[in-house]
Amino acid sequence: MEKILVKTGVYTLIVSFFLFVIFFKREKEMEIDEEATMYEITPFPEFFFQIFRYSVIISIIGVVVAFLYIRYLKDEFYEKE
């Protein structure tokens, strides 16, 4: 059970980090009026730590879901047999 939880934590951390790097925008577009727009660009250190924070949160959620799955759903499946 520990191996499964550790693998789940590591894999969800890596996958979520890469997905956030790909799909998370570093620049925000703000419309001043109809003709003018302004872009706010997040600095790289702040962008990196923001992505890392979200990845850690998703990793913790993934480990909790895997633990609950192993603890309750798998036990119920084996009890039916």
CA atoms within 13 A of residue 58's CA, in its CB half-sphere: 17
Give the pLDDT score at 65.
93
Output the 3-class SS for the chain. CHHHHHHHHHHHHHHHHHHHHHHCCCEEEEECCCCCEEEEECCHHHHHHHHHHHHHHHHHHHHHHHHHHHHHHHHHHHHHC
**Which percentage of the chain shows pLDDT scores above 70?**
91
- Say if residue 78's pLDDT is above 60: no
Give the pLDDT score at 75.
64
Give the pLDDT score at 30.
84
What is the mean predicted confidence (pLDDT) over 63-76?
84
Give the pLDDT score at 29.
86
- Say if residue 24's pLDDT is above 90: no
| pTM of this structure | 0.75
